[in-house]
């Protein structure tokens, strides 16, 4: 490994070096963690288990997609689940005196 004369470096160069070193350490640790997880999963599979079954921790679950709750009256392809950031069409409608309930998608169950 090359010796670096830190005393001759400017503050800007030292900060850049520090940032690069931190990034390299994080990347190395990430790689090691992934390799360890893969080895643990392979060992569990070899014994007929999943890692989640052995650790009691929940496995990866697929994100469930929420159905839309509101629909734009003029463009039915624009919908909103009612969660997260309000779409601009909803903001505009509310600013113009409309109520959210006017845009509810009625379900027939």
Distances (CA, A) of 49 to 6, 45, 75: 51, 5, 49
49 in the same domain as 24: yes
Query: What is the extent of the structural domain holding 35?
Result: 9-55
Question: Tens digit of pLDDT for each residue in 4-40?
Answer: 899 999 999 999 999 999 999 999 999 999 999 999 9
> 84 pLDDT exceeds 70?
yes
Residue 55 banded pLDDT, cuts 50, 70, 90: confident
1 within domain boundaries: no
Tally of structural domains, the chain? 2
74 in the same domain as 51: no
65 within domain boundaries: no
Residue linked to tokens 């903001």: 91
**What pLDDT is recorded for position 35?**
96
Query: Average per-residue pLDDT in the chain?
Result: 89
- What is the reported pTM? 0.46
Question: Tens digit of pLDDT for each residue in 88-109?
Answer: 999 999 999 999 999 999 876 5
Supply 76's token pair. 């039915």
């Amino acid at each position: 490994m090359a010796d670096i004369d830190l005393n001759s470096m400017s503050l800007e160069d030292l900060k850049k070096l520090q940032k690069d070193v931190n990034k390299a350490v994080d990347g190395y640790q990430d790689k090691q963690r992934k390799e360890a997880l893969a080895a643990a999963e392979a060992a569990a599979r070899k014994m007929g288990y999943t890692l989640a079954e052995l650790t009691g921790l929940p496995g990866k679950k697929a994100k469930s997609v929420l159905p839309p709750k509101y629909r734009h009256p003029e463009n039915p392809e624009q919908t909103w689940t009612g969660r997260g950031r309000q779409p601009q069409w909803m903001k505009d409608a509310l600013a113009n005196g409309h109520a959210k309930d006017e845009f509810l998608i009625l379900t027939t169950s």
